[in-house]
Amino acid sequence: MNVTVINNRPVKIWTDEVEQSAMAQIENLTRLPFMFHHVAIMPDVHAGMGMPIGGVLACCDAVIPNAVGVDIGCGMCAVKTSWQVADIPADVLRKQVMRGIRKRIPLGMEHHKEAQSAEYLPQGHNLERTPVVSQRQKAILKEVGTLGGGNHFIELQRDPDGMLWVMIHSGSRNLGKLVGDHYNKLAMQLNERWHSVVTPDLRLAFLPLRTNEFNAYWAEMQYCVDFALCNRRLMMQRIQEVLADALPGIEFEPMINIAHNYAAWEHHYGHDVIVHRKGATLAREGVVGIIPGSQGTASYIVEGMGNPESFCSCSHGAGRVMSRTAAIRDLDLRAEVERLDALGIVHAIRSQNDMQEASGAYKDIDTVIANQADLVRPLVRLLPVAVIKG
């Protein structure tokens, strides 16, 4: 971990490599008058909108929609099964399992053709306090249980004992984007009206505690976090159904789940503050989390060590080293396909456009894990067997 001081504010960084655009955004965070104690930057850091991905920001009495992001509640889940990967015939894996998953779970921008049961949606929320969410109740019945696009994925994996695991990366779909965009725009309007020192060029407009706007955003954000979990849980249920049909007698351990785009009230350094984790996950002592790699590389199940210097956080993945545009332009499609084929990984890479999520666009996951040895303990190293991208 490196410590630097910017604008007389400490910044603690768990990597030696930070791209210039991300460093500029880190500098902007140190200019916030309500920033608390220090900024923590995880080893998967790369530029985002306003705040870098892999950033952890604690604030006094203010929430920043762009410091949460638009895929509110996006996160990971994983389940260990009772089957050995070696016992799964190749034709069963490809024809029954992979085809079955694609049939049951819409990918990319696709939704279910029929509305799903309302029992799959978050319960216990007061929809009168969530105007954006309440308008989408009908639409999200077709979105719950869908993967989405970008870097979202479903992956079948093997652990060192050869056991089959299922891992999912997905979020709150279009709902989170609508909520995030709405409240960021509202915050920008209010900040301009207040002649705030948080100027528009920072892209870090905020909502102060004890305002109606803060309360509305907080309620809608929490719904989105819960919806993202419901989304992952339903997909995992559908995958388990496919596996049960293909692999008689298969059993499943309890699902591990962790989110990486949200804000929460927490107690740090003697104060109650609002901690924003944008592309970062909770790593309190004993908390079990998931740090995925890139396509065709390892992923890790980890245990948090409760390091206060990171606000009890760790990375959410490997982190990009190349934009999607650059990856499509520069990476070698044939070489990527040959690499995955040589590893025996079932994949669906077919075009140059698929290079945006190739492993060459991401940091090395083992280096990322090594850089946060004081934040998490690796529990299980998982290697990919088959990959479905959004």
Q: What is the pLDDT of residues 305-320, one digit of tens each?
A: 999 999 999 999 998 8
> Could you read off the pLDDT of 46-61 as tens digits, one per residue?
999 999 999 999 999 9
Q: Does the active-site annotation cover 316?
A: yes
Q: What percent of the chain has pLDDT over 90?
A: 86
Identify whether residues 160 and 297 lie together within a single domain: yes
Give the pLDDT band (50/70/90) at residue 344.
confident
Out of 23-32, 80-89, 253-262, 350-359, pick the least confident.
350-359
Q: Which of 345, 353, 354 is nearest to 389 (CA)?
A: 354
**∠ CA(79), CA(166), CA(141), 5° rounding?**
90
Residue 329 has pLDDT above 80, yes or no: yes
If asked whether residues 367 and 297 sit together in one domain, one would say yes
Same domain (yes/no): 286, 302: yes
Cα–Cα separations (whole angstroms), residue 92 to 87, 151, 337: 10, 26, 22
More confident residue, 343 or 224: 224
Split at pLDDT 50, 70, 90, the class of 16 is very high
24 versus 336: the higher-pLDDT residue is 24
Give the residue-averaged pLDDT of 129-138. Answer: 95
Read off the pTM: 0.94
Q: 250 and 234, same structural domain?
A: yes
**pLDDT given for residue 324 in this prediction:** 86
∠ CA(353), CA(359), CA(363), 5° rounding? 125
Read off the CATH number of the domain in which 139 is found: 3.90.1860.10
Whether 298 and 350 share a structural domain: no
Same domain for 150 and 118: yes
Cα 1 to chain centroid, rounded: 23
356, 231: one domain: no
Do residues 342 and 267 share a domain? no
Residue 333's domain comprises: 323-361
Q: Residue 384 has what pLDDT?
A: 95
- Say which of 38, 276, 316, 347 is annotated catalytic: 316
Would you say the C-alpha torsion 366, 310, 58, 265 has a positive or negative sign? Answer: positive
Verify that 130 and 110 share a domain, yes or no.
yes
Q: What percent of the chain has pLDDT over 70?
A: 100
Which of 85, 18, 87, 90 shows the shortest CA–CA distance to 55? 18
- The predicted-structure confidence for 140-182, as pLDDT tens digits, reads as follows 999 999 999 888 999 999 999 999 999 999 999 999 999 999 9
pLDDT band of residue 223 (cuts 50, 70, 90) is very high
Mean pLDDT for the stretch of residues 109-125: 95
Asked if residue 347 and residue 316 are part of one domain, the reply reads no
Mark whether 338 and 224 lie in a shared domain.
no
**What is the tally of structural domains in the chain?**
2
The model's pLDDT over 239-273, given as tens digits with 9 standing for 90+, comes to 999 999 999 999 999 999 999 999 999 999 999 99
| CA atoms of 76 and 38, how far apart (whole Å) | 27
Q: Within its chain, how far is the Cα of 192 from the centroid?
A: 31
Residue 357 shares a structural domain with residue 367: no
pLDDT for 349 equals 81
Of 110, 85, 102, 100, the residue nearest 348 (C-alpha): 102
Residue 348: pLDDT over 80: no
Query: Tokens 């989105």 — which residue?
Result: 224
Residue 68 pLDDT level (bands cut at 50, 70, 90): very high
